[in-house]
A and B are shown apart, each in its own frame.
Chain A
Amino acid sequence: MNDDDRSSEQLAAGGCAHGIDALSDYLDRDMLPADPTIDESPECQRVLRSLRRVRALATPLIEADEAAVTTLDQGWIRGIMENIEREAKAGRDIPFAMADEAATLVITEGTVRGLIRGAGDRTPGILVGRCILDGDVSVVGEPVTLHVRVSIGWGRPVTEAIAQFRDEVATGLRQHTDLVIAALDIIVDDLHFEVAETEGSREASDHE
């Protein structure tokens, strides 16, 4: 999506008025010169965090073997990028369960999707493609079903990786939301190649 295509919807509080290409360029420039419309936008920041993660997976592979570029499904990567961009948006307000009626305390849907994406970032071999919160999240206590599509690193034991990812998602949502999760449906719909990822490289991408 071009910047010109942005509607006023994207200009909402904390919204990101930049397309994935502009944000990718911003990363290339080491985020210089500083752009407050990016630096102060939580939506832009969520996209940047996800972009760093996708790059951290793709770059070592390309550096290890230039021919590998052809093995990367560019269309699929593009699809992930588009999902990242779409899901970073604030979306619905999800209330916290609380007794004080004089206050409205909420977390945005985009933040929750960011938590799920972050759980994928912490799980070796998992890359979150898409996630959907199915249910009326605006009502406290209403059961919600999560549908998450992931790609898994080639050669990773699927059961182990998914179990770890499930734990990470559950822990994150318990810590930061009061959502009642009725089910967490995880679909592995793709495989991706990985260069041996060390703890060091994962931490480096986290610190970028």
Chain B
Amino acid sequence: MSDTTDTGEDLQQLAATLDGVVLGVPGVVGLIAAQPTVLRAAKETVGVLLGTPVQSARVSVRRPRGSVVVEANIAVDSDQAAPAVAQAVHRAIVDALPRPDAEDAEGRAITVRVVDVVPSAAH
């Protein structure tokens, strides 16, 4: 792996960048946190109460044992085709990730999950 110095902050920053990348893909109308909704909302509420707002990224990025694991849960516009949108999101994530070296190339796992198809009139 070319970069072995990633910190939690680096991953958070990368996840925040990927949030923007995923939301910028045509057909994506929502991005749902990989973290449980209730847990996330509770953390954010506590953060606001403590005066230290937490706005964690919705795309999940982890680095177990050197590999990169990315998970994005998306809502898709019903006028689009969900498989094509999921593929476009995957491509966008691949393009946005730091270039891997040869031994790192197989250490990536990207999951794009369509968790809702939203009628066009509803968004």
Which residues of A approach B to under 8 Å, CB–CB?
11-17, 36-37, 40-42, 45-46, 49, 90, 93, 96-98, 100, 102-108, 110-111, 114-115, 118, 175-178, 203, 206-207
Selected contact of B38 from candidates A37, A104, A108, CB within 8 Å:
A37
Q: What is the bound-complex CA distance between A194 and B38, given in angstroms?
A: 38
A-B pairs under 8 A by CB, number: 120
Per-residue interface assignment for chain B, residues 21 to 46, with 1 indicating a CB less than 8 Å from any chain A CB and 0 otherwise: 00000000010111111111100100
Residues of B within 8 A of A37 (CB): 37-38, 41
Interface of B is mostly: mixed
Contact B38 A17 (CB under 8 A): yes
CB distance from B50 to the nearest CB of A (A): 17
From B38, which residue of chain A is reached at the shortest CB distance? A17
Contact A42 B32 (CB under 8 A): yes
Contact A114 B117 (CB under 8 A): yes
Residues of B within 8 A of A111 (CB): 114-117
Given A40-B33, A106-B113, are A176 and B83 also a contact pair (CB < 8 Å)? yes
Interface of A is mostly: mixed
CB distance from B92 to the nearest CB of A (A): 12
Q: What is the bound-complex CA distance between A13 and B111, given in angstroms?
A: 14
Given A40-B32, A176-B81, are A14 and B44 also a contact pair (CB < 8 Å)? no
